[in-house]
Every structure is written in C-alpha cells, then in structure tokens.
Chains A and B, each alone.
Chain A
C-alpha cells in the first residue's frame, strides 16, 4: 500500500480519501488540529453514502418519492440530533455549521427584540464567530458586555449577575472552550438567566456528544452544534431553538422559508443524515469514549509533567473536558518549539497537536504571561487516538523541550537561581 513516508498523511474518513491526492498541501494545517478537525467516523460516512448516490432527491419536494425518501431521512436525522440534547425534533434547525448557528442565534435574537432590548452579555473567551457577531451588533447600536474570566478560565457567576441590565436580551457562553478545554458552569448560568427571563445561548460545538447535555436540565434556550467536531461531516451543523417558552429570532437568510422560516435554503440531505448519525453514534459511545480519553489525557499530562519541569496547564484542572489540553512550556522559545512539533505532527500523522505563533486571545484572557502564551501547545485527544500516538507525541515533545531548553540562555539563568523578572535588560 505504498511505502511509509516521513511526511505523514492526515487521518481522515474514507470520504476524505477523495482529497488524498491534494492532502499533501492541506496536511500541515489540518493534521495539527485533532480537536478542531477530526476524522469522520466510518459509521457516519456509511449512513451518508446512500444519499450521495441513489437517494438524491430534494427533501423539500413534496410531490414525488425521491423527495419523500430524502425528507424522511432528514427528519430522522433531526430526531437523532434532538435526542442527543434532550430536545424535541421540531426545535432543531439545520445550518451550515456552528459559525452560522452562532451568527443566527446572536444576531437573530438581538435584532428580533431590538425595539425593547439592546444589551447582550458574553465572555472574552468565546469563539471568534461569537465575538465577531457581537462586534457587528455593536455597530448596529447594541451594547455588549464581554465578561472577563478568572485565571482558571471560568467566568465569575457574581460578575455575570452584576452584568445584567433591564434591557438584556441574550447571554452567550460557550460550554467547552476549544483552546483550553474548560467547561463553564452551564447549569448555574442557565438558572441565573431563566430567573431573569433572559435567553441563554451556548456554543456547544466542543461539548456535544462528549459530555451529556440536556437543554431542559441546563435551561438552555439556544444551542449551536457543529458536525465536524463530533466525527461527522464538514459543512453542516444545527441550531437548537427552544419552543417553550418560545424563542423568536430574525432569520439571517431570506428565501423559501425552509426550517420553520428561520433558515431558508435547501437542507443538504447527505450532510444532515451524517450529522444525525454522528449524534447517534456519539450518544452510544459517549461513556466509553470519555473513559478512554480521560485515561489517555492523564497519561499525556502525567508523563510530560513528570519528565519536564516548569510546565503550566492552562485552564481549570477540574472543570474541563479531558480531550483538550493546553500546556505552556516555560523558558522555551515558542517559534522553535512550534517548528519542532510541526514535524512531530506531520511525521507521526498525529493530528493531536496544534500551536500558533499568535498568542491567542483566550490565553491572554486567562492572564497568561506573554512569553508563556507564545510557547503553548494544544493537545487534542479523541475517539480514535491511540496510546501509541500519545506516547510518541509525549516522547517527541519532551525531547524537543529539553533540547530547546539546553540552548536557552534564560533556562541557564534560571538554573543558576536568577530571578528573571528582576533582570534589567540593556539595549545594544
């Protein structure tokens, strides 16, 4: 089947095999982010294929059998998504992904109630699309409060309560953060919002199918769901919109009135079916996956931290999803570590690390020092991660960190007992 090559390939579902020939170019970016970009589960692909081949009807065409089959499949998928979160299938709207869902939820709710309510609350660590939607609303005349987070990445509930104003229409807090993996106190936030009759939206893209979510227990009114984060297809997601009490929103897309008039456009049957199947598989495998991922995560963290000193885990140790780990390696030059681990990610095919040169706003929000923020690596562990991959990544990581520290003058100084913060650097 071909000789092993030093440049690995991105692991992907067979469907991604279609892109295998062009994968060489795209591999560098995609292979590094298992958390963000995961392979499609073969069971999901299997469920989708009939709708890409034989059953190609438009689910909105009411007048012939092709349409009916597609519609039935789409409705079944809707039910599968709803079951995963404890909702009714009429409350699920298919979208093109969590970004669209977030846009719809935030802009839609804000604009619908804008005659009476002009204030929105969110956090500083939200996903870019949430922050950007809020920013664009600000230009429309809305006021937005961006709640800060504590050092551990969680919001302060007292601050949330204090932030409410008489004309607050929406609170948006993501369930699990995609960079540092912290899990916000969703149940508590839900209670607070319900008591004040303010809608609560959560971007649950990283949480769905990995931790149990129930929109009624957690008092969630709107929830964004992403297909490709739960081993489903890219290009599809969903938005949960509560019916009782009814959440109204102004649609982003105008058109034929599909999806209860909230999101016009033909629903992509194969993708919707894939999303549904992914949700069903996730529901079945949640407990098994979680146990395994927890084990692997502990293995990774324990191994690294026992071999290498001065490693900081970003984000609360307890309130987190184990599969997303963000570690900062002190006294290591960030760019070099990134380059070194880029090779690791490529050569092991392990899509389980990710790093960038730009210190992320999330790390800044939790108060990470500039230098630590530059040398942080995110490790993603998922359903398909093997022990060998974890061990290999850990080994390479330790090896490179040690190597880079040997070369680092800062490290030398620290070893000699010098306090770096007391140094006065002179100009040359």
Chain B
C-alpha cells in the first residue's frame, strides 16, 4: 500500500516508521508499550485513509522516482 502514496510521503513514512521502531525497541514498560502500539495503530489507519485518497487524486510520477530518466 505504501507504493500508492505520493513519493515523498512514502519515503517519509518508511523512514519515520523505521526510525521510530529503532528508537523504541528497548521500551520495557507494558503501559508505555501499549500506548505506543495504540498510537501506531491510529497512524496506520491514517495511512490507509490517505492512501485511498491519494489514489483518487493521483498525479504523475516524478522524474526522481524513475532512476535513469534524467
């Protein structure tokens, strides 16, 4: 589903999620873990909705998305 988001949001999402995951990997407190998981679930829903909208109002790919096409 990520591939349908606008290029920059896609790269942002991937990067941000990966970094947040790494940042929080040592969290041990179960209450905190639950809070983080809930936030993550909410963000996932945002992504789902925005992907759908992005599909509805799609634009052409950027040059930078297709390497070798300078």
Contact = CB atoms under 8 A, between A and B. Distances in A.
Interface of A: 1-6, 8-9, 11-14, 17-18, 20, 23, 39, 42-43, 45-46, 49, 288, 347-350, 383-386, 388-389, 392
A132 to B, nearest CB: 34
Given A8-B62, A386-B11, 4 more contacts: A42-B46, A42-B50, A46-B50, A384-B9
Interface range on chain B: under 10, 10 to 19, 20 to 34, or 35 or more?
Answer: 20 to 34
A167 B54 CA distance: 55
A139 B58 CA distance: 49
Nearest to A5: B60
B25 interface: no
Nearest to B53: A14
Centre residue among A3, A42, A43 by max chain B CB count within 10 A: A42
B8 interface: yes
A227 to B, nearest CB: 18
Contact of B63 (A8, A12, A385): A8
Contacts of B11: 384, 386
B26 interface: no
Contacts of B46: 42-43, 46
Question: Dominant SS at the B interface?
Answer: helix
Q: Is the interface of A mostly helix, strand, loop or mixed?
A: loop
A81 B11 CA distance: 27
Interface string B10-40: 0110001001000000000000000000000
A392 B64 contact: yes
Contacts of A347: 63, 70
15 contacts: A1-B61, A9-B62, A14-B56, A17-B54, A17-B57, A20-B58, A39-B6, A45-B53, A49-B49, A347-B63, A348-B63, A384-B9, A384-B11, A385-B8, A389-B64
A276 to B, nearest CB: 16
Contacts of B57: 14, 17-18, 20
A342 B43 CA distance: 36
B63 to A, nearest CB: 5
Contacts of A385: 8
